[in-house]
Structure formats: structure tokens, C-alpha cells
Chains A and B, each alone.
Chain A
């Protein structure tokens, strides 16, 4: 077992950068900043807060239902295309939210060819996609794979013997699923949903592309429009409070359903009756269609005109740098998350216990605010770091720690402590226990954590923009360069490359995940 102080040290070290940023945000509330906040409070914040609340709730609920339903289908039943869907339903993750928003606005708004044609031919009208509902739809479609992936790992590592026990007790398969399996995967679903909610809280790309006012747009309005970074930080403080509240809720909900499981024979998938199987295939393909195939086709049609002009040898560089940053960043985050989760499993000092939840709060802070909040103290304290990628990786870890943490924490929570204790009684050494007992049960969760962070980092923009060395361009930065003056069609080329680059890790993960195929 980790010595108590070592565990505390791990937690404090992992949480340190987040604490620095959060202290900065707290400090903003003590800084006089004129009456910008009062102005915003009077004219913007009530509506913005209401929109944010509605958005977070709808997206969280929608993604939770959609993700869990798809995970259950893929993990528990046999239907045509199941093996394909099991990995391809992760693909929507590789499409940045702001790209999906632009595609939806471009293909569903009043002036789009499709809408124009339907309007002229049949007189059809529908509500604008540039609305709160549109933003909720886009965010749900880009974020549901978090829930899908984490819930699927949970379903697939659930032991067959629970279902057998339930059927011995006279439960039908459906009852057994509801009464036995759902409580078992609920912690994972809750953890993933908390991630989705935090990502929605911090989202700027989607709401800006669809011009919906939320707390993040109010924050950027104060900073960019009114030159008041302090007010922006004050609003970011509100976002963090909301995130901490969410995390506390999730923690509480998880403790209600604390279920430990033992290893055992893996779940047997059951074939569905023909009609139901066809419906399952239809359901999975339509979700994949609107969240991935359609935007990719749209990007292809945009890109086709610019492919020859824009696609050249530089793209190898963008590609390699994107993969390198995301791969290394994900590796760091997953390693630190694993250590962190283990450290938290042990008894730790009071300070560490209090500080631990803050480590994951960075996910709710919009990237640019976090990047600036970390960049300033770090460059002032350690000016010799200039021009290195150190600040960039520290900022990545601070912002995306939650993404790596959630799957691993949920995975470890399913392992009974009795397992450790019996192994300890048998005189095993810590590394042996990790190698022979925890790792085989946890590797699916670790792989899931790696892929989620990897794909998130591939899409990451504000931190990379601010902290990269000179001339260091990635695919996401290329998208930014082209869209910053509205050149969406040209931006489709790097956006597609971004999707492609995300493709193989997702496919690779599918092959590595336990019982994935």
C-alpha cells in the first residue's frame, strides 16, 4: 500500500496547477474591476445562466440516455453490424463541436440548399438550428460517445454470474438487466455524464457558432469586447462553482449505488429477434449517420474544391505534431490519473482529501481562460521555460485531467477492496497486485481514458494556440487559421485530416478493449 504521505503528495502534485488557476479565479473576485460585472449582471447574466442551465441539463440527459442505450445494445445483444458499431460509434468524438455546429448551420439553416429546396418545393419550414435547441443537439451528438464508451466498458466487464443469479431467482433477462446490470454500470454512466456536463459548461465553440448566449459567451464578451479579463475570470469562477456542485452531486449519487463486483466469466451477448435486431441496426446507423457520416460528407464536399490548393507536404508536419501532442498529453494524463486514483483509494491526509476534487475542476474552465491563468504565473516564476512545451503539457493536464480520471476512477470503483486485502494477506507485493489483479480488470478503463483524452487533445485549440513554440502548427491550429476569417470551405481540409488522425487510435482502441469484438 502506498505510504500515506506519498499518496497525499501525488494528490497535491496532480491538483497543484488546477489550484493555481482556481486561486487566480478566486483572486479575480477580490480585484476591483469597475462595474462591468454589474452591467453584465443586469443585461446578460440572468439569460446566460438560464441558457447554460438548460443546455447542461438537456445535453447531459440526452447524452446519458443515448450513450447508455447504445452501450447496452452493443454490449448485451447481437444484431447485424454490432461489431462495426462497437467501434464506429466512437467516431463522432473525432469531430470538433464547432465543426459540427458549422456543418449543421451550413446545411440546415434558411439559406442552405436543402432548406431552400424543401421550402420552395413543399413549403416546409423548421425552427432555426441557430438556437438553444440547436446547440443542445450539436453538443449531444458530439458528446454522447463519452457515455457510450465508459458505459460499454462497464457493461462488458460486468460478470455473467450476476445475470445467472438473477435468472435463478426467476427474473427475465430484461428484469435482470434493469435490476442488476443498470445499478452496476450506473457509477460509470454518472461519471461520464458529469464529464459531458462539464464540457458543455465550458463550451464556447458550439455556442459561438450558433450565436447562443451562455455564461462562456458572457465571459468572452467581458474579456474580448470590454477588455476586462478580471470580469471574465469572475464569470469563470461561477462556472467552476457549478462544476464543483456537479462533481459533488455525482459523488453523492455514486455513493448511493456503490456496487463492487468480482471477476468472473464475461457476459454472453444474446441475439435479438429479427425485427428488433433490424430496429437496433437502424437506430445505431442513424445516430452514426447524423453525428459522423453526414458531417464528414459535408466536409468532403467543402474540401473538394481546395484539396489540390491546400493539401501539401506541410500537412505531414501538422499531422505528426497533432499526434505527438495528443499522444504524449494523453499518456501523461492517463499515467497521472492512474496514480491519482490509486492514491485516493488509500487513506490520505485531510488536506489532500479536500484538495483532490479540485484537480478535475479544470475541465469546466474555458481553455483560453485556463491557459492565460496558468501561463502568467508560470512564465513569471519560471521564465526559462519559454519556448518549451512544458507549459502546454501542464495546461493540458490541468484542463483534461477529468477526462482521463473519470473512466479510471469508475473502473477502480468496481473493484472490491476485498480483492486487495486478500492479495495482501497472501503476501503479494504492490506491483504484483497491480500486474496480476488490477491491471487485467482495469485495462479497458485505462484504454478508454487514453482514447478520450487523446481525441480531446487532438481537437484542443486555445491552450495549444497560446503556449506552443514559434511556428508550431497542428491540424487544429490550421482549422483555426482558416476559420478565423470565415474561410470554412478551406478549413474543411484540415478538419478532415483531424477526423482521419482520430480514426486509427479509435479503431486501435476497439481492438485492444477487452471483449470488444
Chain B
């Protein structure tokens, strides 16, 4: 076989690839675009970015992937990274990015005024933009809510074969456990988790929807989920038989995680990125950012979605969310030791 003919084919194909390369656009000089690496998915961010562009004239370009992968990408690209802003759906990854020196501190009076201190990085490298409450849900005809109190109480043997949990692989559970460790220490938390595992009615589920469906179908009576999953379920089926219980109201408050963002170390347009963050932290943008996914706004002055409001108000945890990241690796170890798969 003649080698030359095949190299020709290969080189033609490689030349064709050049056609698909996206060249840096020279037309966007008018307003420098903000480039976002986002773990928050496209359908939740694109409408809001479009609106930002319409109001400010600043274009937004973004790409999505898992946060851990985006962080490796940022690290690999270093100074050459096009990214100005890293957006994630939990605080752990933001802590990880800032811990690796990939985010830069930003002082902003607007962000400080709009976002409670517990939902911001103490080093000002990232802020929360919406709150995701993770709390207890139950079946109203099989559980009297007066018998519910705290996450920890679900370890009690009265819940034997009545509890459903999502897999410990999900960061939402890892953050919850990290905050429990901060509040009560490793040993006490491990005891609680062992109790949970002993009470499981079914092997852990792959997502929060399956946990709620199992409760509705009678496989178990209580579970722990992010409330926006229930919100979506109720939008489809208003009679869905699962109710919210606000955990730990007499103690340290219900666990909230954040979907948030931070400006990258090597941002080329930090001013644009800051403008986007500030815009997202207030007014209609803040309402949309949280409301489009039935999450809670971080800005206390912004109106909550009516369905979400119907679950009543609650006291969130008073511990700074940065602890969720700082203790996440420890949380995973404790979960492993307790046998929570």
C-alpha cells in the first residue's frame, strides 16, 4: 500500500479541521465580552446572560462542563485561559478553585451589601448567587411532622427501614455532611451517618427525584433532598404527596449550599466579570437566577418564587458555607467509613 496516498487523505482531513476552528472575533472590540466557565447548565444561565447583554451591552460567552473538569481546564490554561468567571453549583468546588489559587479577590461594596456574609468567601474570591436548601421531606399520610426535628434524629431506630437517601457520591450530600462535621465534629457525625445507613429502606438512589418518588410510592417515609427538585415535581404534579420539613430549626439551622461564582486569577476582563456578578446579585436578575430553578435568592430583599414561598420561611445555617468545601474531603472519608454508598 502506498503511504503517500494515505498521508494525503489525512492531511486533507486535518486541513478541513481548520475550517471549524473558531477564530477570536475581532468585531467584539466595542464591549469586551465576559467569558464564563459554568457548571450551572445552559438552560439556567443563557436566558439570564442574554438579558445582561441586552441591558449592559457586554456580551457573554460561556461553556459548560462539570466543575472539577472546568477547574482542571483553568489550571492547565494558566495565563492563557480565556475565562473571566468560574460558575459552579456548589460551594465546595469554588473553595477548591480558590484554594488552588485559580480565583482572585474582588472587593465590591455592592456584593457585600447584597449577599449575606455566610454565603461569601471570607477572602472575597467568590460569592453565592442562589441558595439551595437541602432538608427533610416526608410523606404526609405516613409521617406526623411533629415527630421530625433534625437531620441527626433520622439516625434514631424509629426510622428503621423508613429512610431514603441519595448516593454519597453527590456533592450535595458531601456538603451537608461537611457542615455537620463543622458543627458537631467527626465522631458524632460518623455515628449519625451509621444510624442513617442502618435505617435505609433501599440502597441509596442516583438522584433526588428517585428519593422523592420512592417516598411517594411507599418504599420509604422520609428523605433528604434539595427543595428545588420538589418544586419542579410539584409544577408537574401539584398533588405529589411529599412535603417539606425544615430541619434543625431549633439548633444550627437548615443546610444551604450555594450556586455561585468567582473571578478567575488570570481574567482578561475582570471589570466586566465584576459587573456581571454585581448585576446578578440584585433586582430582577437575582430573582430570575434563583427563581428559574426554584432556588432561594441570596439577596434577602429579592422576592421568592410563590411556590417556593409556600413551604414557609426557615432559618438557614449560620456557619459560613466555605466550610462545606474545606471539610468536603473529610466528609467523604466519614461517609466511606459509615458505609454510605
Question: Is B17 within 8 A of A388, CB to CB?
Answer: yes
In the complex, per-residue mask of A459-490: 1 if CB is within 8 Å of any chain B CB, else 0? 00010011011111100010011101111100
Contacts of A471 in B (CB 8 A): 61-63
Question: Is B217 within 8 A of A130, CB to CB?
Answer: no
Whether A387 is near chain B, meaning CB under 8 Å from some CB there, is yes
Question: Is B64 within 8 A of A481, CB to CB?
Answer: yes
In the complex, per-residue mask of A429-452: 1 if CB is within 8 Å of any chain B CB, else 0? 111011000100000000000000
A359 to chain B, nearest CB (A): 16
Question: Is A111 within 8 A of B17, CB to CB?
Answer: no
- In Å, the complex CA distance between A294 and B214 comes to 23
B137 to chain A, nearest CB (A): 14
Contacts of B22 in A (CB 8 A): 387-388, 469-470, 472
Contacts of B82 in A (CB 8 A): 386-387
Among candidates B16, B42, B209, B336, residue contacting A39 with C-beta atoms closer than 8 Å: B336
Question: Is A368 within 8 A of B64, CB to CB?
Answer: no
Whether A263 is near chain B, meaning CB under 8 Å from some CB there, is no
Nearest chain B residue, comparing its CB with the CB of A7: B3
Question: Is B167 within 8 A of A211, CB to CB?
Answer: yes
Whether A26 is near chain B, meaning CB under 8 Å from some CB there, is no
Whether A210 is near chain B, meaning CB under 8 Å from some CB there, is yes
Whether B171 is near chain A, meaning CB under 8 Å from some CB there, is yes
Interface residues on B, range: 35 or more
Question: Is A481 within 8 A of B43, CB to CB?
Answer: yes
Contacts of A201-219 to chain B: CB distance below 8 A: 208-211, 213, 217
Question: Is B68 within 8 A of A224, CB to CB?
Answer: yes
Among candidates B41, B62, B206, residue contacting A482 with C-beta atoms closer than 8 Å: B41
Instruction: Say which one of A169-177, A238-246, A331-339 lies at the interface with B.
Output: A331-339
Whether A248 is near chain B, meaning CB under 8 Å from some CB there, is no
Residue of B77, B169, B214 most packed against chain A (CB within 10 A)? B169
Question: Is A430 within 8 A of B205, CB to CB?
Answer: no
Whether A316 is near chain B, meaning CB under 8 Å from some CB there, is no
Contacts of B1-35 to chain A: CB distance below 8 A: 1-3, 5-6, 9-10, 13, 16-18, 20-24, 35
Question: Is A335 within 8 A of B9, CB to CB?
Answer: yes
Contacts of B61 in A (CB 8 A): 470-471
Q: Given A111-B217, A388-B17, A431-B1, is A105 in contact with B206 using a C-beta cutoff of 8 Å?
A: yes
Question: Is B217 within 8 A of A211, CB to CB?
Answer: no
Question: Is A485 within 8 A of B80, CB to CB?
Answer: no
Question: Is B13 within 8 A of A332, CB to CB?
Answer: yes
Q: Given A225-B169, A376-B72, is A130 in contact with B203 using a C-beta cutoff of 8 Å?
A: yes
Contacts of B61-95 to chain A: CB distance below 8 A: 61-66, 68-69, 72-73, 75-78, 80, 82, 89
Whether B148 is near chain A, meaning CB under 8 Å from some CB there, is no
- In Å, the complex CA distance between A335 and B232 comes to 47
Q: Given A111-B214, A473-B42, A485-B41, is A227 in contact with B329 using a C-beta cutoff of 8 Å?
A: yes
Whether B333 is near chain A, meaning CB under 8 Å from some CB there, is yes
Whether B153 is near chain A, meaning CB under 8 Å from some CB there, is no
Question: Is B68 within 8 A of A223, CB to CB?
Answer: yes
- In Å, the complex CA distance between A131 and B16 comes to 45
Question: Is A387 within 8 A of B217, CB to CB?
Answer: no
A377 to chain B, nearest CB (A): 8
Whether A267 is near chain B, meaning CB under 8 Å from some CB there, is no
Whether A2 is near chain B, meaning CB under 8 Å from some CB there, is yes
Whether A383 is near chain B, meaning CB under 8 Å from some CB there, is yes
Question: Is A431 within 8 A of B169, CB to CB?
Answer: no
Contacts of B68 in A (CB 8 A): 223-224, 227, 229
Q: Given A211-B205, A387-B23, A468-B63, is A380 in contact with B76 using a C-beta cutoff of 8 Å?
A: yes
Question: Is A383 within 8 A of B16, CB to CB?
Answer: no
Question: Is A335 within 8 A of B77, CB to CB?
Answer: no
In the complex, per-residue mask of A300-344: 1 if CB is within 8 Å of any chain B CB, else 0? 000000000000000000000000100010011001101100100
Question: Is B208 within 8 A of A211, CB to CB?
Answer: no
In the complex, per-residue mask of A125-163: 1 if CB is within 8 Å of any chain B CB, else 0? 000101100000000000000000000000000000000
A35 to chain B, nearest CB (A): 10
Question: Is A470 within 8 A of B35, CB to CB?
Answer: yes
Question: Is B73 within 8 A of A110, CB to CB?
Answer: no
Contacts of B66 in A (CB 8 A): 224, 368, 465
Contacts of B6 in A (CB 8 A): 335, 338-339
Whether B304 is near chain A, meaning CB under 8 Å from some CB there, is no
Contacts of B210 in A (CB 8 A): 105, 109, 111
Question: Is A213 within 8 A of B341, CB to CB?
Answer: yes
- In Å, the complex CA distance between A225 and B335 comes to 11
Question: Is B229 within 8 A of A466, CB to CB?
Answer: no
Nearest chain A residue, comparing its CB with the CB of B201: A110
Contacts of B240-282 to chain A: CB distance below 8 A: none
Question: Is B3 within 8 A of A372, CB to CB?
Answer: no
- In Å, the complex CA distance between A323 and B54 comes to 33
B215 to chain A, nearest CB (A): 9
Q: Given A43-B336, A111-B216, A130-B205, is A211 in contact with B341 using a C-beta cutoff of 8 Å?
A: yes
Contacts of B18 in A (CB 8 A): 388
Question: Is B73 within 8 A of A466, CB to CB?
Answer: yes
Whether B305 is near chain A, meaning CB under 8 Å from some CB there, is no
Question: Is A372 within 8 A of B171, CB to CB?
Answer: no
Question: Is B63 within 8 A of A43, CB to CB?
Answer: no
Whether B202 is near chain A, meaning CB under 8 Å from some CB there, is yes
Question: Is A482 within 8 A of B43, CB to CB?
Answer: yes
B211 to chain A, nearest CB (A): 10
Q: Given A6-B3, A376-B76, is A111 in contact with B35 using a C-beta cutoff of 8 Å?
A: no
Contacts of A226 in B (CB 8 A): 328-329, 332-333
In the complex, per-residue mask of A499-517: 1 if CB is within 8 Å of any chain B CB, else 0? 0000000000000000000
Q: Across the A-B interface, give the 3 residue pairs with the lowest CB-CB distance, nearest first.
A: A111-B217, A388-B21, A376-B76
Given contacts A208-B206, A211-B206, A227-B328, list 7 more A-B pairs with CB under 8 A. Answer: A128-B203, A213-B341, A388-B18, A390-B17, A431-B5, A433-B1, A487-B232
20 contacts between A and B (CB under 8 A): A36-B329, A130-B206, A208-B169, A208-B206, A211-B167, A211-B169, A220-B169, A225-B174, A225-B328, A226-B333, A229-B72, A328-B13, A372-B76, A387-B22, A389-B17, A393-B17, A430-B1, A468-B63, A470-B63, A480-B64
